[in-house]
Structure 1
Amino acid sequence: SLPKGRVDQKQKQKQKQKQKQKQKQKQKPKQKPKQQPKRGG
């Protein structure tokens, strides 16, 4: 079983990434919608 500390860190990291994405979306003025896949995604 994984130690709880690691799981908490992973969850915190995910939350931080989500917050960063939200902030980026807020900061970016609306431009053309993304149609080009990045990194072949």
Structure 2
Amino acid sequence: MLSLMQKDILTELVNVYIGQAANLLSEMVYQKIELTHDSF
């Protein structure tokens, strides 16, 4: 089981990498990529 700090760190890492992936995709397709998320 992950501690609260570990969950926060993992969430931040995922956010960073998703942002980088969206940026690369944007450059590939010459379109703005807008990320949104739903609250659970």
Deviations 1:3-40 (A, max 9, x none): 10000000000000000000000001xxxxxxxxxxxx
Normalising by structure 2, we get a TM-score of 0.63
The structure with higher relative contact order (CA 8 Å, sep 6+) is 2
After TM superposition, the runs of 4+ consecutive aligned structure 1 residues lying more than 4 A away are none
Aligned length: 27
Gaps of 5+ in 2: 31-40
Gaps of 5+ in 1: 29-41
Q: What is the root-mean-square deviation in Å for CA atoms of aligned residues?
A: 1.2
Normalising by structure 1, we get a TM-score of 0.62
Match for 1:14 among 13, 16, 27? 16
Output the CA distance in 1 between the equivalents of 2:24 and 2:17: 11
State the identity %: 4
